[in-house]
Amino acid sequence: MTKAPAPRSASYNRRVNHPAAPADTLRATLADLVDGLPPRQAAQAVERLIANYRGDTPTDAPILRDRADVVAYAAYRMPATFAAVRSALGAFAQAVPSWVPGSHVDVGGGTGAATWAVGDTWGGTRPVTVLDWAEPALALGREIAASLPALREARWQRARIGAALALDSADLVTVSYVLNELTASDRAALVDTAAGAAQAVVIVEAGTPAGYARVIEARDRLIAAGFRVAAPCPHSAACPIVPGTDWCHFAARVSRSSLHRQVKSGSLAYEDEKFSYVAATRIPAEPAPSRVVRRPQIRKGQVLLDLCEPDEQLRRRTVTKRHGDLYKAARDAAWGDSWPVGEAPRGA
């Protein structure tokens, strides 16, 4: 671990709109990538990719087989996976405000979305290793990463996730949108190996009931390995959601590219990427006092907040105008934000 400037929040990056912010560089680099393709060919590659990902996973061989596949993946999915991981890392960074990863390993890293998200969360440079079994994904990831100085020295290495996977020790290990593609035994082996190698492990999955179930399974294994949950949960006890009744997930807003609009034949300028995640660590962390787990409902003179609270309960709290500054904070609160539970009134 190294001490460095405080992490930049997503809103900081939005406000400052620094031309060199990794989020902006990634957007521009991916736009250039798509500009180089005939539109019909790009749309067909995306449609093939979507069809493959609808097929049965896990697979015995990489789904991303050639350059057309990985360009489609990078153009179509990478902005969304980047946004989801960025959001998870932002919440994690809030729980460990003076910590900056001194090294990062991204397992099943593909074209490197999580490496960009780490670069966007914490400034500076660090040794970065991306592991994946799909050589075309690694090759494109390396190519895209050439536009970000912090990633120019990154190592892009072929590796198969499974019982034989060995990881060098690293401050941070990320596993983003990968567990879905693994067998149950490979999922368990990967989480245990990550726990043995890292100070902090961040796992992101699709925000579906199945994605949430895989995150909970990983969360349990990380806690059993001696980790504490830093985000999104306000505690490391059992998740209060009764299995099968609901699922904990969040949303990250992603601008739609012209390719997205073409494939989805829609005109919306953005979409919301739903994701589930856990960030767990061996270092001291201060989890959120409580977490907003649904989009807040703003009514006349009141805001309804659905919260996950530190006493292992889910509660709806109603914040009204008479709560003054807290009401103002509630009006600004977003799904996924932390919330100061001690100051909140009991719900109606």
26 forms part of the interface with ligand SAM (CB under 6 A): no
160 forms part of the interface with ligand SAM (CB under 6 A): yes
136 forms part of the interface with ligand SAM (CB under 6 A): no
Which residue stretch of 89-97, 170-178, 244-252, 314-322 sits at the interface with ligand SAM (rule: CB under 6 A)? Answer: 170-178
141 forms part of the interface with ligand SAM (CB under 6 A): no
118 forms part of the interface with ligand SAM (CB under 6 A): no
Longest C-alpha distance within the chain, in Å?
60
135 forms part of the interface with ligand SAM (CB under 6 A): no
Residue with the shortest CB distance to ligand SAM: 110
Which residue stretch of 35-43, 130-138, 231-239, 283-291 sits at the interface with ligand SAM (rule: CB under 6 A)? Answer: 130-138
Nearer Cβ to ligand SAM, position 176 or 276? 176
Q: Which of 29, 81, 281, 302 is the binder for ligand SAM (CB under 6 A)?
A: 81
87-125 burial, b if ≥16 CB within 10 A, otherwise e?
Answer: bbbbbbbbbbeebbbbbbbbbbbbbbbbbbbbbbbbeee
Which residue stretch of 90-98, 108-116, 222-230, 318-326 sits at the interface with ligand SAM (rule: CB under 6 A)? Answer: 108-116
119 forms part of the interface with ligand SAM (CB under 6 A): no
Give the residues lining the site for ligand SAM (CB under 6 A): 62, 64, 78, 81, 108-110, 113-114, 132-134, 137, 160-161, 176-178, 181-182
